[in-house]
Structure 1
Amino acid sequence: MEPEVKNEINTPDFINAEDTGKLTPFGTEENTGEEWREYVDKATEFVADLPKYLSEFFGQYKSPFVTIGLLLAALIAVRLVLAILRSVNDIPLLAPTFELIGLGYTAWFVYRYLLRASNRKELVNDFNELKSQVLGHRNNPPL
């Protein structure tokens, strides 16, 4: 006796086994529409609460963001100044002219403030006055 062979194949619910050769689109059942709405609702809820999440995040980590921003700004400023100096050095006779101006100012500063003791005291007083204006202290002891 020959064993009986069944032609039934276990197919998932979303595949239509009756119409062979026809493809039924995925998600035609009502259940997947409800699942899709749940995902959309979760996504819209997250997007609606996103400003709250971001404000809490930036409020909590404000100090590191400010520090990183200042470091990036300083780095950009240094790179910009170096680029300007490189371009000025490429102009003929401009770099040596600036060097001569710097040497002349240094010689004048040494002659004006550093050669005599009375002038050095005047420089210290001027420095203390400037320091008090910047820092806001009035009674500074001399250096």
Structure 2
Amino acid sequence: MNPEVKESEFSASADINGDDPLLLPASTSDASQQWRQVGEKVYSFLSGLPEYLSEFFGEYKRPIITLGLIFGGIVGVKLVLAVLDALNDIPLLAPTFELVGFGYTAWFVYRYLLRASNRQELVQDIETLKDQVVGSINSTTKS
């Protein structure tokens, strides 16, 4: 049980025409050369891909970010709607939320909208909040 192949056994396995079965025909080597060329082209493309992507992202950074924010906003709205739909399917929870909403609306109208002095207070609170979020015009001109 010798694992080595003897020369006489190897020559007996050759074709009748004398072709060596281990040698590839010429068409197969042409195909492998074409595959090698394709592989080189793919390799050169993939090796330059990080530079191309960084250049592309640098040039179109703002539109890409805008599209990402729009897409994220759409996904966020869909997610919130799905959660609200799931909560509305729970018995007695939807009517409870409606009662809470009606109660808060009644309190808000009573607290801020019935009297003129309270409406002015609401306007001042909104202006203060707007200045905190956006920044006041006076603070930007003094700097």
Q: What TM-score results when the alignment is normalised by the length of structure 2?
A: 0.69
Change (3 A) 1:119 1:59: same
Matched ranges for 1:1-143 at <5 A: 25-27=25-27, 39-137=38-136, 139=138
Residues 89-141 of structure 1 show CA distances to partners (whole Å, capped at 9, x for unaligned) of 111111111111111111111111111111111111111111111111065xx
Q: For structure 2, which runs of at least 5 residues remain unmatched after alignment?
A: 1-15, 139-143
| CA radius of gyration, larger in | 1
How far apart are the structure 1 equivalents of 2:128 and 2:112? 16
Q: What TM-score results when the alignment is normalised by the length of structure 1?
A: 0.69
- Number of paired residues? 120
Higher helix share: 2
% identity of equivalent residues: 57
How far apart are the structure 1 equivalents of 2:66 and 2:57? 13
Change (3 A) 1:101 1:35: closer
Higher relative contact order (CA 8 A, sep 6+): 1
Change (3 A) 1:85 1:25: same
Misfit runs of 4+, over 6 Å: 31-36
